[in-house]
Amino acid sequence: MSKTKLLAAAALTTLLVAVPAFAQEKKTIAVSIPAATHGWTGGVVYHAQKAAEEIQAAFPNIEVIVKTSPSAEAQVSALEDLTAAGTLDALVILPFSSDELTGPVQSVSESGTFITVVDRGLTDPEIQDLYVAGDNIAVGSTTAKFLVDSLGGKGDVVVLRGIPTVIDDERIQGFQEGLEGSDINILDIQYANWNSDEAFSLMQDYLAKYPHIDAVWANDDDMLLGVLEAIEQSGRTEIKYALGGNGMKEIIEKVMAGDAMTPIETPYPPSMIKTAIYMTAAQFNGQAPVRGTVKLDAPLITQENAEEYYFPDSPF
């Protein structure tokens, strides 16, 4: 049902764009994001659509167009389409890849458009007026600190990492730094490509290889789902914690319910797109200064504050 609503909203926005702007101070914000291909980008699309609806309802003079693209090339074409349709007052973009999008975004910027970059930075940070991102290093280190505290500074952990990318490297780096100085020993780190099936297999193999594991960290919640099934099937009882990262709603639900094995979560919220859209809108409406860099923290989500990070209608 929400899908038809979204489609209707998208259709409506297109209609509105097609009509030439009569009101003079009407401002247009274009949002260019990757299409939903996995949970996290699904969340980005959801929150972008939500933000667009909310801002248009609150500020009738601001128009928000959300455009999703399935690849970097498609995103470049989308930028061309968006700028061809009329003057953009602002562009909020979550670039598919830094290298390919830097040039096209620069040319949009040259026509006087306010540029907000989200999550993945461009190769030339001079282009952006506002940069909003999460903190992948903190995702790792917050989790590591929790483990150090709750395992009493010692124990054996296994780690599942994602797809070899900067995001993955930073999370692992943060985790390793967070454990420094403690007696917690990382038994093994292997790739499971942010895929729950591969994580299930890898966890089964970890369980076969190591007779004693105190805690598991999957650096993404999709993988954690596979890990939890593998642990349940093995019947092993010595594993105290199985933790994830990102803020998937299924895992937040566990945290809210006070699950013993997954009592905490660290966010890398797809809703950061919403922060970016709201901030971009703020300067048009209230002339609030927003130029600069915003790095969202990855605070520990516990049973007490889980509600804040829970979006039951989001696909993620």
Partner 1 sequence: MTEITAQPAREPLLARINWVDVGPFIALGVLLLAGVLINPDFLSPTNITNVVTRSAFIAIIAVGATFVISSGGLDLSVGSMTAFVTGIMIMFMNAMVPAMGANSIIAGMALVLCVGALCGLFNGLIVTVGKIEPFIVTLGTMGIFRALITFMSDGGNIPLDRSLREPFRPVYYGNLLGIPIPILVSVVVALVGAFILYKTKFGRRCAAVGANEEVARFSGISVGRVRTLAFVIQGICVAIAAICYVPRLGAATPTTGSLWELQVITAVVIGGTALRGGKGRIWGTVAGAVILEMIANLMVLSNFISEYLVAAVQGVIIIIAMLVQRFSKQP
Task: Please say which residue, 131 or 175, places its beta carbon nearer to partner 1.
Answer: 175
Q: Which position among 191, 240, 282, 303 is part of the footprint of partner 1 (CB under 8 A)?
A: 191
Q: Which position among 17, 189, 261, 300 is part of the footprint of partner 1 (CB under 8 A)?
A: 189
Per rule CB under 8 A, is residue 96 in the interface with partner 1? no
Per rule CB under 8 A, is residue 100 in the interface with partner 1? no
Beta strands 292-295 and 130-133 are parallel
C-alpha torsion sign, points 56, 67, 272, 222 = positive
Q: Within 10 A of 231 (CB to CB), how many other CB atoms are there?
A: 21
Per rule CB under 8 A, is residue 177 in the interface with partner 1? no
CB 189 → partner 1: shortest distance, Å?
Answer: 6
Find out whether 109 and 93 touch, Cβ atoms under 8 Å.
no
Q: Which position among 9, 35, 74, 300 is part of the footprint of partner 1 (CB under 8 A)?
A: 35
CB 185 → partner 1: shortest distance, Å?
Answer: 14
CB 174 → partner 1: shortest distance, Å?
Answer: 18
Nearest to 119 by CA among 84, 93, 139, 142: 93
Subset of residues 200 to 219 that bind partner 1, contact rule: CB under 8 A:
200-202, 204-206, 208-209
Per rule CB under 8 A, is residue 197 in the interface with partner 1? yes
Q: Which position among 13, 43, 94, 117 is part of the footprint of partner 1 (CB under 8 A)?
A: 43
Per rule CB under 8 A, is residue 42 in the interface with partner 1? yes
Q: How many residues in total does the chain contain?
A: 316
Residue with structure tokens 């809703």? 271
Task: Please say which residue, 108 or 199, places its beta carbon nearer to partner 1.
Answer: 199
Per rule CB under 8 A, is residue 185 in the interface with partner 1? no
CB 45 → partner 1: shortest distance, Å?
Answer: 7
> Which helix (H) or strand (E) segment is 86 a member of?
none
Stretch that binds partner 1, among 36-44, 107-115, 149-157, 290-298 (CB under 8 A): 36-44
Strand order in the sheet with 154-161: 183-191, 154-161, 215-218, 241-243
Q: Which position among 27, 30, 32, 39 is part of the footprint of partner 1 (CB under 8 A)?
A: 39
Subset of residues 217 to 276 that bind partner 1, contact rule: CB under 8 A:
222, 225-226, 229, 233-234, 250
Residue with structure tokens 């009329």? 86
Subset of residues 134 to 173 that bind partner 1, contact rule: CB under 8 A:
161, 164
Find out whether 279 and 290 touch, Cβ atoms under 8 Å.
yes
- Dihedral over alpha carbons 172, 100, 280, 30 (to 10 degrees): -130
Per rule CB under 8 A, is residue 196 in the interface with partner 1? yes
Task: Please say which residue, 36 or 118, places its beta carbon nearer to partner 1.
Answer: 36
Q: Within 10 A of 9 (CB to CB), how many other CB atoms are there?
A: 16
Residue 194 region by backbone torsions, left for phi larger than 0, else alpha for psi between -120 and 50, else beta? left
CB 272 → partner 1: shortest distance, Å?
Answer: 16
Q: DSSP for 258-313, please give it.
A: T-SS---B-B--TTHHHHHHHHHHHHHHS-----EEEE---PPB-TTTGGGG--TT
Token pair for 237 = 């009882």
Site of interaction with partner 1 (CB under 8 A):
2-3, 35-39, 41-43, 45-46, 161, 164, 188-191, 194-197, 200-202, 204-206, 208-209, 222, 225-226, 229, 233-234, 250, 314-316
